[in-house]
Amino acid sequence: MFQIALGLVMAFGIGAFCRWFDIPSPAPPKIVGALLVISMTVGFLLTGHLIGAP
């Protein structure tokens, strides 16, 4: 649970930092790109769970 909370805090922190200093965001600007990143992450996590990776 701590890792999830830390990941969310870091994600919002990086996004806020990029917006504050007018740096291009390291995330895709379109919803399709964001969904691609989410689906890749879910696939990675699900496969790790299925093969029993630590």
Contact at 8 Å (CB) between 34 and 28?
yes
Residue 47 is predicted with a pLDDT of: 83
Note down the domain range covering 30: 2-51
Domain count, the chain: 1
The pLDDT, as a whole number, for residue 53 is: 65
CB 28 within 8 A of CB 36: yes
Q: pLDDT of 1-54, one tens digit each?
A: 788 788 778 878 877 787 788 887 766 777 877 777 788 888 888 888 888 866
The residue among 11, 19, 18, 15 whose CA lies nearest residue 41 is 11
pLDDT at position 54 is 65
User: What pLDDT is recorded for position 52?
Assistant: 82
pLDDT score recorded for residue 7: 78
Here the tokens at position 42 are 């879910």
